[in-house]
Amino acid sequence: MKFDREIESFINNYVKALKEKNAVAFIGAGMSVSQGFFDWKKLLKPIADKLGLDIDEEQHDLTSLAQFFVDDHGGVRGQLDQILVEEYGKTTMTVSENHRILVRLPIQIYWTTNYDRLIEKALLEQGKTPDIKKAQSDLTVNLPKRDAIIYKMHGDIETVSETVLTKHEYEDYNKKRELFSNAFKSDYVSRTFLFIGFSFTDPNLDYLISRIRTVTTPFLGQGLNIQICV
């Protein structure tokens, strides 16, 4: 079958990229759900409840739901940030076997839209030193003797006020987090990516696809080796 051939081709290309130290893993929320962290629907349900909305009816535009909540509170994220901190605080940060398998591979670059710290914890447990990039200023400094770089393109729960969550924050991403956009573009056109832990109901995926299209459109027909596995 064509699909099976495509999967086999991807595996062969990714193994080749691993050997050449040219492989990247891009990790979505699905990698963290098994450890008790929330997907977008569960994460924003308390917000929908506060607004008197049905989360099942709003799940197709969750970034707008977050934006509406902020706008309803005078444009201030304080209560939204508090909800995030409380929800993440309920979960014990235990690394999954999938994380352990992933960090044992010779991957030197990880991208993630997740706010949690499971990837970095898994790397530390493996005896590796992660260089964590969660803010623009982090991209201007390199950690000595690092084994891997983690680009937390939407921020980190420990700096909750700087996370990317609302519709306006997504729309302004290329302006306010330009260095992340540039780094992503550079990696995406030159390395082999494995996308893991994303679902088609994840709003992060919509924005990622739009960025990928922006990155790849000028290069279509030039033979770039780009791999996506959702």
Per-residue pLDDT band for 70 (boundaries 50, 70, 90) equals very high
More confident residue, 112 or 91: 112
pLDDT score for 56:
79
What is the pLDDT at residue 51? 84
Please give the model's pTM, rounded to 2 decimal places: 0.87
Position 87 scores a pLDDT of 82
Domain boundaries, the chain: 2-39+96-219
Q: What is the mean pLDDT of residues 24-31?
A: 91
Query: What's the pLDDT at 220?
Result: 43
**What strand order describes the sheet that includes 148-152?**
130-133, 148-152, 109-112, 23-27, 192-196
**pLDDT higher than threshold 90 for residue 160:** yes
Is pLDDT at 16 greater than 60 in this prediction?
A: yes
35-54 residues labelled b (16+ CB within 10 A) or e (exposed)? bebbbbeebbbbbbeeeebe
pLDDT tens digits for 125-147? 999 999 999 999 999 999 999 99
% of the chain with per-residue pLDDT over 70: 87
202-218 tens-digit pLDDT = 666 677 777 777 766 55
Q: What is the C-alpha to C-alpha distance for residues 33 and 156, in angstroms, rounded to an integer?
A: 16
CA 134 from chain centre, in angstroms, equals 11
Residues annotated as catalytic are 154
Assign 3-class secondary structure to 108-177: CEEEECCCCCHHHHHHHHCCCCEEEECCHHHHHCCCCCCCEEEEECCCCHHHHHHCCCCHHHHHCHHHHC
**Is 229's pLDDT higher than 70?**
no
CA atoms within 13 A on the CB side of 37: 22
Give per-residue pLDDT as tens, 178-199. 999 889 988 988 899 998 988 7
Tell me the longest C-alpha to C-alpha distance in the chain: 55
